[in-house]
Chain A
């Protein structure tokens, strides 16, 4: 079964700084990977997804992620963060046909 881990628990950045949040998954065959965002008090929203094809995936709000199979990684990036990016970010993977599991999340705080 797949598993997913996020090593950054809390990241604090200033506005306009570049962002990279780490996500590693365990190998288990076909990989379907996601990044979800949870703004304070809100539900989970999909930022981007990777199923196959181009390993560089572009999502909403200027986010992108790169699937690197050799490193079992799917890191989230944004070249210039804004205060409104303050949120919790979750990496997720299908661990089986009908089960998405989430990493422990990374809290991103942006200093205005």
Chain B
């Protein structure tokens, strides 16, 4: 069964460093998403991406964040200068379309900023 894959599964980084989280969405899906879940808290929407541009973004997704689809398969989330409060589980998801189709989630990347 097709699945969304994310790498790495766990990343530890120093505060102020740049990190890139990688995702390979399901191949025929057109919408891609990033969510984050701070430990013990709710799943928060960061950004959606469609047709090679950001479709929607939340207030969390500030100038420190960016997304990119560098080739036909990968979808990346970059955090330019990490802060302690960026420590969270980051989930990538994809859907065939937007509304009316479910999103499939990857296993997540646990980001720890020290």
Q: Do A and B bind each other?
A: yes
Residues of A contacting B35 with CB < 8 Å? 102
How many A-B contacts are there with CB distance less than 8 Å? Answer: 57
Flag whether A71 is at the interface (Cβ < 8 A): no
Decide: B107 and A42 in contact? CB cutoff 8 A.
Answer: yes
Residues of B within 8 A of A46 (CB): 102, 104
What residue of chain B has the Cβ atom nearest to residue A100's Cβ? B103
A99 CB within 8 Å of chain B: yes
Name the interface residues of A27-77: CB closer than 8 Å to any CB of B.
30, 32, 34, 36, 42-46, 49, 51
Asked whether A102 lies within 8 Å of B43 as measured between CB atoms, the reply is yes
Chain B, Cβ-Cβ closest to A96: B56
Chain B binding surface SS class? strand
- Count residues of chain A with CB under 8 A from any CB of chain B: 23
User: Which B-chain residue is minimally distant from A90 (CB atoms)?
Assistant: B43
Asked if B25 is at the interface (CB within 8 A of a chain A CB), the reply is: no
Contact call B108/A104, Cβ cutoff below 8 A: no
A103 within 8 Å of B by Cβ? yes
Is the CB of B33 closer than 8 A to any CB of chain A? yes
Encoded as 1 (CB less than 8 Å from any A CB) or 0, chain B from 24 to 62 comes to 000000010101000001111100101000011000000
Residue of B nearest to A99 (CB): B56
Binding site for A on B (CB under 8 A): 31, 33, 35, 41-45, 48, 50, 55-56, 91, 93, 98-100, 102-108
- What 20 additional pairs, Cβ within 8 angstroms, besides A46-B104, A99-B45, A100-B33? A42-B107, A43-B91, A43-B106, A45-B105, A51-B100, A90-B42, A94-B99, A96-B56, A96-B99, A97-B55, A97-B56, A97-B98, A98-B31, A98-B56, A99-B48, A99-B55, A100-B93, A102-B43, A103-B42, A105-B43
Query: Nearest 8 A-B pairs (CB), nearest first?
Result: A98-B98, A98-B48, A98-B55, A102-B43, A44-B105, A104-B42, A97-B98, A43-B107
Task: Please list the residues of chain A having a beta carbon within 8 angstroms of any beta carbon in chain B.
Answer: 30, 32, 34, 36, 42-46, 49, 51, 90, 94, 96-105
